[in-house]
Structures are given as structure tokens and as C-alpha cells.
Amino acid sequence: MQLGYEDAVAVVTGGSSGIGLATVRVLLRAGARVALCARNAGRLDDVANILRRDHGDDKVMAKPFSVLDEGAVATFAADVQDRWGQCDLLVNNAGQGRQSTFATTSNDDWRAEYELKLFSQIYPIRAFEPMLRSAKGAIVAVNSLLAYQPEPHMVCTSSARAGVQNMLKSLSVELAPDVRVNSVLMGLIESGQWTRRFAARQDQSVSRADWYGALAQRKGIPLGRLGDPVEAANAIAFLGSRAASYITGAQLDVSGGLNRHI
């Protein structure tokens, strides 16, 4: 199957680690030029240098800023326009989860979580929409299974994720037929968070494989393991590609079967 990323330009927010970085690498290997951003300037610079070494300076563009800075996002879009003149795919990946119950989530925490989850989508979509329309491009949002399957210990994040999913469905209609809008719903994916928890495990004699296997069993993941970021990146690359040209307003579950809804 041909994904059709040769000569395409992709933008990935939160692209310096985890799913975002895996997506950047998958897209570069598929032939795309990729602009990535992240908040941590030092880590982003280190990652960008490796990517340029492996794929060429002409294929990589990296800018450090927060996607909650509307002006910085607009400047980033202008920089992509000036350098490459197009954007075929926007991958909105920035964001993290907040662990809290209703009782332990303050009003300010609610406001901050909704701002992060919604505006990390809104600002990039607004900034890149003209280029995406011109290219007949695609938006892929990295969301969570929590949008449909809330957890009581993540009540705030679950609620905000559901709001994002609703917004994306609306946008898939409003931006059609020029721009396709889809999302991936992530389950438990190996990340720095889980690596840190493994390092802090109570029984240091437990191997990584056994610890992750026990975690998957406790969480009830039918495939018996956590996902690899590359597996998530492959799903993102497919939805953003010409191979998915008749798919919009959809969500692709990447959870190893953890979903309990139909």
C-alpha cells in the first residue's frame, strides 16, 4: 500500500518524544518533510539534530514553543509556509493526562485541563487551515480512549477528551470536503511515564517484560501488553495519508482491545 507522502509536508506537535517522535520518524521514512514542535527546547534540539543527520537538513524543521501560545503557533505556520509553501498533514499530538478525582480537581485545574486539551487542537487547526485546504490535506488528532471510556481517577482529563472528540466530529463536517479530520484513540502506550514507574517498582528483581505483562493483565488488555509508540505512529500515518482518502470523521482505536464500547 502506498501512503503517498513523497513531496508532502507534515506538521507534528509534541514531536520530541513518545508517540509524536515516533510519528515524525514514520513520516520521514515515508518520504515526507516534517516540521515538529515541542516545549522543551533542549530536548527538541537534540532530537532535531539526530533527525537531520538521518534524513537530511532539507527534510526537518523544528521550533520550540507551547501550542497554547497562539502567536507562536501562527508564527510556526508562517515559517512552514515560507520554507515549504504547503502543509498536507497536521498531527495534533501535544498534551498530557491529569490524574485526579472530582473531589481533588480544583476549579483552576478544570480550566487548565480544558484549555490544554481544546486549544492544543484549536490553535494549530486555525493556523494551518488555509494550507490544509489548499492541499486537500488531513488532520489527525491524537486523543485517548478516555473520551469514550472515562476513568474515575482521571475525571477531568476524561471529560476534556470527550469534548475534543465532539469538536473533531463537528470539524470533519465543517472542513469537508477540503480537509479530512480523524483521530486515534490511544490506550496504554509505552512512554516515559511508564518507564519511570517501572524504574520505581517496589520489587527491583522483576524484569521489564514481567512488569509490563503484569500491568497489562491488571488493566485487562486482551493483547497482553502495552502498545509501542511506533504502532500508534503507523495508525496516524495511515489516517493522514492518501490511502485513507475516503475516511473522515472517524476514530481509530489503538488500545490492544482495551475498549469496552461498540
Local confidence pLDDT in tens for the 262 residues of the chain: 889 899 999 999 999 999 999 999 999 999 999 999 999 999 999 999 999 999 999 999 999 999 999 999 999 999 999 999 999 999 999 777 788 999 999 999 999 999 999 999 999 999 999 999 999 999 999 999 999 999 889 999 999 999 999 999 999 999 999 999 999 999 999 887 778 888 888 888 888 888 888 889 999 999 999 999 999 999 999 999 999 999 999 999 999 999 988 7
- In this prediction the pTM is 0.94
Q: Is the peptide bond before 177 cis (omega within 30 degrees of 0)?
A: yes
Measured from the Cβ of residue 209, the count of other Cβ atoms closer than 10 Å reads 9
| Domain range summary for the chain, segments of one domain joined by + | 9-188+229-247, 190-226
Q: Does domain 9-188+229-247 have CATH number 3.40.50.720?
A: yes
Measured from the Cβ of residue 189, the count of other Cβ atoms closer than 10 Å reads 23
Residue with cell 485545574: 109
